Chain A
Amino acid sequence: MAQGILVIAEHRDGQLKGMVKEALSCATTLRSAVGGDIHAVVLGADVAALATELAAAGADKVWTIQDPKLAQYTPEAYIAALQSLVDQLQPKLVLTGHSYQGIDFFPRLAASLDAALFPDVTAIESDDRGLVFTRKVINGKLDARCRPTGHTLSLASLQQGAFQAGSTSVSGSVESFAVDLLGIEPRNVVEIKAADKGEVDLSSADVIVAGGRGLADKDKFKLIFQLAEALGAAVGASRPPCDSEWTEHERQIGSSGQVVAPKLYIAVGISGAIQHVVGMRGSQCVVAINKDPNAAIFQEASYGLVGDLFEIVPALIAAVNEAKS
């Protein structure tokens, strides 16, 4: 009978990703429902220090898989190594972060293990029928509660920030797991470079007005600049206006752009996809203006205004100017 939870720990530049502790905390809350130990695995060329950190972060047992072919992440080597470990441990649940790296290897690992895959999960509960995974569907507008249909292994990648990282007094043990990667030929990674930040630095702005798809076109996007001017604010955007070149790419806020935490963030015509939300979640006060009352952005808002932004924003500019005079 399969039992136990395995957490795959992502790391870069010698640091564990923040999501690792969120996943360990999630595993801890499911410990009694799933049964067995909480395992963590870290892969790389030299990961001893990371393993020690994991052992103090809630894992009963930390496995290190070390091989020169794992020095750099490639799906080929990662999947081969992880498949061996899962075959050995026979866990009931495998967790990792729904990061870009997770998105790259986790589905293929699931396919090779013939497992039930739950991507981008925001909550996991258990009841008498087993585990229930909540994930977003239809562009993040709806929560879907999902279950595995058979008694298979379940793999879930967790949405960044959806699970609270906790503290723990558990001190786990570290063991190395040997894998044979002789037949694996990882791809040639030519380079990894940071996308240039450009000249717009939104990180120091106190007030940001950000526009989204709802602005409809480049000309109408100017409304965002007009509101920002009235407020003395910086201008940001979600992905669609940048993709459509209504405004500069360097104004993009989110997982592919800048991460900001102003005092006031006004989201105009932004649906609130998680890729955007992770870039503005730290804002002190969020105002959301959207015609769709079910838009996910209202989840993040302190104040919400439902209606036609092309009526509300001009009214807001007038009200701001009125208040100033």
Chain B
Amino acid sequence: MRLDEPPPKIVARAAEVTDPCGFALASPGERGYPAPRTSASASDANRCLYRILGEKRMKILCCVKQVPEKDARLRIAEDGSWIVEDGLSYAISECDRYGVEAALRLKEAGQGEVVVLSVGDGRASKGIKEALAMGCDRAIHVNTAAVARADALTIAKLMAAAVKDESFDVIICGQQSDDLGYNAVAPSLAHYLDMAHAQIVLSVESIDGGKLRVSHELDNSLIETMEIAMPVVLGVQSGINDVRYASLKGIMGAASKPQKKLSVEELGFGDADLASKIEIESVSFPVRSSQAEMIVGEPAAMARTLVQKLKTEAKVL
């Protein structure tokens, strides 16, 4: 992240109207979107077609997950295998919120459609509703709790199955979820869909030739800028834009937007396909390191004790 100025905002610039790709004209698919991908070349032809016609429609997917709210007080279940979920409130995972905003901005810079995808049981409906209220056009809800604690690859495989016939140009995920925290869904989803990818993305803009200019973070505060041909899956970092609030109109309109509910059976996933490659055996609160001394009491007493200890014990004041 840049240190001297606000983080780069997601910007998007429409591609030039003319595009010298030599595909023959064909009639547009229903609602003006490319027909489902039958082969890579047919899909490419459709994409070029829309640029030739000046429509520049971009088909964008954003993916959201419901996670326990950040300041939730956690309790470990009796069998030690996971937290007690009853009574927790859930919200869209932080990076995913920035992803929804990034998707909406990419659409607004040109033309297109933003679809929101969520995998989860009834809890996922709340996140979908919020994303629709923010401005997503329609939703896909894979209604299952089967992969709630699965490994990233199994989750990504199920997501891929749910969207593979849609031929998205850009798929935006949060780079990491606040619960399982794998940092891994975007790159593995890209593998299953045979798309390019980038992780820890800070900015994205549409440039000529069906490409995106993408900047992402590397270690040591380095920022790498790349040109990647669509279709592409991006895992976005938090803080990259100002996430909008849903307007009253958006909230009112959300209920009437199309929502496709899919079951794992409909996606052809059996128990073997849903079996996680890793198993969480137990969870525990980390053992506090031995040197940490907890100072207790009323605020004023704690403060005085601390100052005393910093002076005489730690000798740092």
Which residues on A are within 8 Å of B, measured CB to CB?
A: 12, 17, 75-76, 98-101, 103-108, 110-112, 114-120, 132-133, 135-150, 152, 187-200, 207, 213, 231, 239-240, 242-245, 249-250, 252, 255-258, 263-264, 271, 284-285, 287-288, 292, 294, 296, 298-308, 311-312, 314-316, 318-320, 322-323
Contacts and interface: CB of A to CB of B under 8 A. Distances in A.
A257 B304 CA distance: 32
B271 interface: no
11 contacts: A100-B216, A111-B188, A116-B278, A148-B278, A149-B278, A191-B224, A194-B223, A195-B223, A239-B1, A257-B1, A320-B307
Contacts of A213: 70
B68 A138 contact: yes
Contacts, number: 294
A145 B4 CA distance: 40
A283 to B, nearest CB: 10
Nearest to A122: B286
Interface stretch (B20-28, B49-57, B161-169, B179-187): B179-187
Grouping DSSP codes into helix (H, G, I), strand (E, B) and loop, the A interface class, with mixed when no group exceeds half, is mixed
B73 A292 contact: yes
A147 B281 contact: yes
Contacts of B285: 141-143, 294
A117 B278 contact: yes
Contacts of A240: 239
B228 interface: yes
Given A108-B188, A116-B277, A306 B294 contact: yes
Contacts of B178: 138-139
B4 A104 contact: no
Interface string B28-72: 000000000000000000000000000000000000000010110
Of B2, B3, B277, most buried by chain A (CB within 10 Å of CB) is B3
B283 interface: yes
A249 B316 contact: no
Nearest to B156: A111
B239 to A, nearest CB: 3
B249 interface: no
Contact of B316 (A207, A239, A298, A315): A207
Contacts of B79: none
B292 A304 contact: yes
Contacts of A146: 278-281
A137 B184 contact: no
Contact of B183 (A120, A196, A245): A120
Contact of A285 (B3, B197, B310): B310
Contacts of B112: none
B238 interface: yes
B299 interface: yes
B1 A107 contact: no
B219 A304 contact: no
A303 B304 CA distance: 13
Contact of A252 (B3, B192, B196, B286): B3
Interface in B172-228: 175, 178-188, 190-192, 196-200, 213, 216-228
B293 interface: yes
B6 interface: yes
Contacts of A133: 278
A104 B185 CA distance: 10
B219 A255 contact: yes
A190 B225 contact: yes
B262 to A, nearest CB: 21
A75 B182 contact: no
A12 B220 contact: yes
A194 B222 contact: yes
Nearest to B192: A111
